[in-house]
Amino acid sequence: MKQLIRLTILFCACAALALTAVAGPEPLSSGKEMKQVAPAPPECDYTWTGFYIGGNAGYGWGNGDTRFHPLPDAATFGSLAPQTLDPDPSGFIGGGQIGYNWQWNKWLVLGAEADFQGTDIEGDETRSPIIGFTGTSFGPDSFLFAHERMQWFGTVRGRIGFVPMCRLLIYGTGGFAYGNVDYSAQTFYANRDEFPAKFSETNTGWTAGGGIEYAIGHHWTVRAEYLYYDLGDQGRTAAFLNSGVPVTPTIFAVHYNWETQGNIVRGGLNYKF
């Protein structure tokens, strides 16, 4: 009997130990629950500081409003009313850029960049017939013509941006812009009286815009960017010709004024050293 009691006590003790092992340790005697501590986010393994070089390609469209001013004035000229043509230049743009960024306090990035690219931003408009100062039409063979084409374009800009998350940069940019532009215009009558103008000019002005850039590795970044540019206006006064021969003496001429503003949307790929 005593042996049976000992075996029973031993079995109960072993069962209690087994239940304790399965159930796990007892909570702290204080009764307070353990607070779970979230793991600290990993440090960003990328810095924007450094020199970079890359390429870009995109699309540009502009405002090439061309104003026609009869001289000495509309009433005296008679056969031309003041008016404006809009060539609406547009086309491909592509080239390269080089720059430097400095990242400060993890969130702020300051930088400078220069770029240069060829363009095919071009447009023209023809209006026929010519309408005179009094509203008279000068026939279907008379016409006005305006043309504008940007051959190449470049900028030197500052950049300021912030880093909302690791490897992502959102920035604004602005500075100096320059470009070479072809201009032409014509006022042509059926009797071969004409007032032609054609020239090329390297213009200077300003640009501003912004973009977003992402680092796809420790050396490579991709970006999308928008720029607005203003290269100012150009004006020329065209002399009176008949069949290409100057008409003299004469007081008549046509003054043309071209605007040169536009927009660029482009993508880019950079290598950071």
Opening angle at CA 270, ends 266 and 272, nearest 5: 155
Domain ranges within the chain, ordered by starting residue: 50-272
The 10 Å Cβ neighbour count of residue 98 is 14
Which residues are paired to 180 by β-bridges?
152, 202
205: exposed, middle or buried (Cβ count in 10 Å: 0-12, 13-18, 19+): middle
Distance CA 175, CA 111 (A): 12
pLDDT tens, N- to C-terminus, the chain (273 residues):
343 334 333 333 433 333 333 334 434 434 444 456 555 556 889 999 999 999 999 999 999 999 999 999 999 999 999 999 999 999 999 999 999 999 998 899 999 999 999 999 999 999 999 999 999 999 999 999 999 999 999 999 999 999 999 999 999 999 999 999 999 999 999 999 999 999 999 999 999 999 999 999 999 999 999 999 999 999 999 999 999 999 999 999 999 999 999 999 999 999 999
Opening angle at CA 170, ends 168 and 171, nearest 5: 140
CATH of domain 50-272: 2.40.160.20
Distance CA 122, CA 183 (A): 10
Q: What single-letter amino acid sits at 235? A: G
Those residues whose C-beta lies under 8 Å from the C-beta of residue 259, and which sit 6 or more positions away, are: 63, 64, 65, 66, 233
Q: What is the pLDDT of residue 16?
A: 39
Distance CA 238, CA 69 (A): 10
Opening angle at CA 217, ends 40 and 53, nearest 5: 130
Distance CA 194, CA 187 (A): 5
Helix (H) or strand (E) holding 15: helix 2-23
